[in-house]
Amino acid sequence: MTNGVDFTSSLERVATRRMRRRLVRCVPALDFLEGSPPTYLYTSGRPNRCNPRGVECLYFSETERVATLEYRRLFGGTDAGEEPKLTFVAEVDLRRVIDLEKRDVRGALDLSAADFFESWREADLPTRLQRLGLAVSKQRDVSAIRYPSDACRRAGTKGWNVVIFPEAVVAPDRVRILGRSGAALEELL
């Protein structure tokens, strides 16, 4: 139970939507190349906006502009922020995505705008969005959460991100990393 909402049971009832679109991700190029082997679908298990430590997930943005703002926010002022970045595109087909832009979905999950932008870096306990992500990671029906970009908010604009939980991606859902020719470079299905 989290502030009156049991996210696990809420997932069974919350409205979801299908997502068929292309998403964008920016990563530090040198970190990518140091992978053994390099993988576009790398997950670190480090905490982030929608996942506590130990929960594997992939973060994408709906546009390259949003992905670039997110990258700058995350890596600005670090060595990675001064190095080349790699930008790639994923084609996703996901049957059930929690869309936090929808008022009825936010209401069903008892989430407010403050929950979207709650500081997760210094938090002693998982934030509400991290607890929602934890609940999503433990089931196999809902595979992703669409949530507002904090980097865009700070830049005075709007934008959306999508966090995908690989363990919850089951056929016929899929995530394909595309090359310039449109060929799949790596796939999660």
Has residue 9 got a pLDDT over 90?
A: no
The domains of the chain are located at 7-188
What would the mean pLDDT of 108-120 be, rounded to a whole number? 92
**Distance from the first to the final alpha carbon of the chain:** 31
pLDDT score at 4: 46
pTM for the full predicted model: 0.94
- Pick the more confident residue, 187 or 9: 187
- What are the residues whose beta carbons fall under 8 Å from the beta carbon of 107, sequence distance 6 or more? none
Rounded to an integer, what distance in angstroms lies between the CA atom of residue 105 and that of residue 103?
5
Contact 61, 87 (CB under 8 A): no
Alpha-carbon separation of residue 80 from 32, 45, 83, 84 (angstroms): 11, 19, 5, 8
Has residue 3 got a pLDDT over 60?
A: no
* Arithmetic mean of pLDDT over the chain: 93
* Single-letter residue type at 39: T
pLDDT score at 76: 85
Has residue 122 got a pLDDT over 90?
A: no
pLDDT score at 5: 62
pLDDT digits (tens, 9 = 90+) for 22-62: 999 999 999 899 988 899 999 999 999 999 999 999 999 99
Contact 159, 69 (CB under 8 A): yes
Query: Which stretches within 14-154 are classed as H helix?
Result: 29-34, 64-75, 79-82, 103-108, 113-116, 128-137, 150-154
pLDDT score at 19: 98
Has residue 2 got a pLDDT over 80?
A: no
Alpha-carbon separation of residue 124 from 47, 55, 70, 119, 127 (angstroms): 12, 16, 23, 10, 9
pLDDT score at 124: 84
Rounded to an integer, what distance in angstroms lies between the CA atom of residue 143 and that of residue 189?
11
pLDDT score at 91: 98
